């Protein structure tokens, strides 16, 4: 009986440890961007994609994953008239909080670039720094629901981007 319980506990722990089981992950997310008043863009919906390269937990900085991120905000209206699409590419480091449950929080820190399709009202393309946090809820070993919030600081064009979506992990 003890062996059965031990085996079930081990399988449950493995199912909750996505970033330790799989090397690669892809996420598709819906997002809402809260833009700073200085950018003159109204808050708006968009979508995003993520690719994770999951690291072994034995690295000097305890980084859980390296994330390549893309966020797109569709034709957002400017406060003073006109509109612009916003494209954001980023590279982030993720630190996972190890725990035995299916709910895994993480922190992120990164850099990126943003491009506006119509640079009206003084908005400028450029670089930004990202800091944020998120949570993953494991549905099964290779599939999880992801929620994330990050602050992008790019001078006058800063924003808070909140995202929710599905993450699929693969490659052992």
In Å, how far are 2, 119, 130 from 133, measured between CA atoms?
A: 38, 30, 10
pLDDT at 76: 83
Domain range enclosing 88: 2-170
- What's the number of domains the chain is made of? 1
CATH number for the domain spanning 138: value is: 2.40.160.20
| Residue 146 contacts residue 138 (beta carbons within 8 Å) | no
The full DSSP string for 100-145 is SSSEEEEEEEEEEEEEESS--TT---EEEEEEEEEEEEEEETTEEE
- For residue 172, pLDDT over 80 is answered with no
Q: What's the rounded mean pLDDT across residues 8-26?
A: 57
Which of 18-27, 37-46, 93-102, 136-145: highest mean pLDDT? Answer: 136-145
Instruction: Please give the biggest Cα pair distance in the chain.
Output: 70
Note whether 35 and 161 are within 8 A (CB): no
For range 3-26, the mean pLDDT: 53
Selected residue with higher pLDDT from 16 and 88: 88
Evaluate if pTM is beyond 0.85. no
Residue 129, token pair as written in the block: 């720094």
For residue 6, the model assigns a pLDDT of: 39
Tell me the three state secondary structure of residue 5: helix
Condensed to tens digits (0 to 9), the pLDDT of residues 141-167 reads 889 999 999 999 987 778 999 999 999
Q: State the pLDDT at residue 19.
A: 55
């Amino acid at each position: 009986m003890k062996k059965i319980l031990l085996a079930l506990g081990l399988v449950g722990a493995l199912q909750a440890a996505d970033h330790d089981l799989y090397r690669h992950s892809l996420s598709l997310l819906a997002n809402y961007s809260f833009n700073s008043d200085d950018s003159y863009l109204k808050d708006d919906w968009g979508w995003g994609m993520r690719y994770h390269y999951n690291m072994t937990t034995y690295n000097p900085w305890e980084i859980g994953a390296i994330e390549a991120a893309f966020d797109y905000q569709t034709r957002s209206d400017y406060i003073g008239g006109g509109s612009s699409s916003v494209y954001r590419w980023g590279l982030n480091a993720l630190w996972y909080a190890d725990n035995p449950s299916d709910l895994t929080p993480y922190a992120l820190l990164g850099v990126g670039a943003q491009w506006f399709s119509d640079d009206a009202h003084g908005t400028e393309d450029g670089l930004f720094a990202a800091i944020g946090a998120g949570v993953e809820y494991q549905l099964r070993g290779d599939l999880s629901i992801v929620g994330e919030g990050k602050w992008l600081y790019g001078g006058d064009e800063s924003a808070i981007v909140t995202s929710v979506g599905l993450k699929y992990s693969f490659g052992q």
